[in-house]
Amino acid sequence: MIIFLTMVVVLLISTFLYMQQDMFGKKPTGSRLEKIKQSPNYQDGKFQNLNHTPVLAEGHNYYDVIYENYIKNKPNHYPKEKIPSIKTDLSNLSIDENVLVWFGHSSYFIQINQKRILVDPVFSGSASPIPNTIKSFEGTDIYSAKDLPEIDYLFISHDHYDHLDHKTLVALKGKINNVICGLGVGSHFEHWGYDPKKIIEKDWYQKIELDKDFIVFIEPARHFSGRGLSRNNTLWASYVLQTSLFKIYLGGDSGYDTHYKEIGEKHGPLDLVILDNGQYDKAWRYIHNLPKDVLKAAVDLKAKRIFPVHSSKFALAAHPWNEPLSEITALNKGGNIPLITPKIGELVYLDMSDQKFENWWETIE
């Protein structure tokens, strides 16, 4: 018994010390926390979704979910071959081109109206704070912080490790002019040395006029947040970018809910919607879209084109690595809303509504 108790104490102390590392960020305190407490979306010491949102759907338990997703051997869980990718020279793109470049999972670069935008960048090769776990697929890490030009606006959807990557954001610090994020997320950035004057933290239903031709609307998502042992002490969000040329929806991580229709009624039609479509499970249907939900959401949002993301870089769920793109492509066959499915690094021309893409995931095992 003494040996067992000693082991438990050592494990607890080791865990506590490990979690003091910078990568875990810093929870909101002081005036930031007081501002959070004034939010109508913050109740009982936590941010809340618009509607009741259990992490696990009815009929599922944590033991089964952990076994199915992280322990059980699963066929085609990882690609057997290298993921195809293209190395685009981002620093030498004409500033007048309106383009998008995907880096895998939910990381992408957008250039519109002569503004350079970066969303949820993860270039460290990992989506976990635990070493040698949740590593990126071979071929998906051809980009790094040094490949990016100066960024006008960095958008962060929420503070999970596969969206808010410490190593990447420290490396990018000198290239980021402004950070746009939900309430509380700025605490991590300040802890990592970002100038507080460059951090713009907002609540749902607020807007930011970044330029005379560029307005950002902060909108809800249906998800959760947290690093370390903290949960829901920072706000998750989606964004509508409205410029003189385009309206683009950055959906972040989200399960299907009423917010999509509300956003569509308020801001639609939307030229492009970027939606969570990967690392899903029926047990998680309230916090991650299933492929069928993505198409429902796109209709609600009055979308002209759909870019499904959150796939093809990390294995965070039990489904085959290529299922998200295969499934949504099959479900959308004959659909009225075109899909954007580029290779990593491939230029997506936002002005070209009829641009065609290969079903590249079908060419590799």
pLDDT over 70, % of the chain: 95
Domain assignment present for 13: no
Closest by alpha carbon to 65, among 288, 222, 312?
288
**Is the distance from CB of 361 to CB of 77 less than 8 angstroms?**
no
Domain assignment present for 212: yes
Round to whole Å and give the CA distance between 203 and 45: 16
Lowest mean pLDDT among 2-6, 165-169, 285-289: 2-6
Domain assignment present for 3: no
Instruction: Provide the domain limits for residue 302.
Output: 26-363
**Is the distance from CB of 190 to CB of 32 less than 8 angstroms?**
no
Domain assignment present for 354: yes
Q: Is the pLDDT reported for residue 326 higher than 90?
A: yes
DSSP conformation letters of 210-259: EETTEEEEEE--S----STT--SSS---EEEEEESS-EEEE--S----TH
Tokens found for residue 4: 């067992």
* β-strands 247-250, 272-276 pairing: parallel
Round to whole Å and give the CA distance between 5 and 178: 49
Interval 166-192 mean pLDDT:
98
Q: In this predicted model, which residue has the larger pLDDT, 193 or 67?
A: 193
Domain assignment present for 11: no
Beta bridge partners of 275: 308
**Is the distance from CB of 291 to CB of 324 less than 8 angstroms?**
yes
For residue 182, name the pLDDT band (cuts at 50, 70, 90).
Answer: very high
Beta bridge partners of 85: 344
- CATH number, domain of 286, equals 3.60.15.10
Q: Is the pLDDT reported for residue 18 higher than 70?
A: no
For residue 69, name the pLDDT band (cuts at 50, 70, 90).
Answer: confident
Phi first, then psi: what are they for 196, rounded to 5°? -55, -25
Domain assignment present for 267: yes
Beta bridge partners of 117: 110, 153
The pLDDT of residue 283 is: 95
Interval 332-342 mean pLDDT:
93
For residue 80, name the pLDDT band (cuts at 50, 70, 90).
Answer: very high
Domain assignment present for 16: no
Closest by alpha carbon to 296, among 264, 323, 318?
264
pLDDT tens-digit readout, 270-304:
999 999 999 999 999 999 999 999 999 999 999 99
Round to whole Å and give the CA distance between 42 and 232: 9
The pLDDT of residue 83 is: 98
The pLDDT of residue 365 is: 84
Domain count for the chain, please give it: 1
Tokens found for residue 317: 């769920």
The pLDDT of residue 227 is: 92
Domain assignment present for 10: no
Round to whole Å and give the CA distance between 150 and 146: 10
pLDDT tens-digit readout, 244-264:
999 999 999 999 999 999 999
- Stated as kind and residue range, the H or E segment containing 327 is helix 323-331
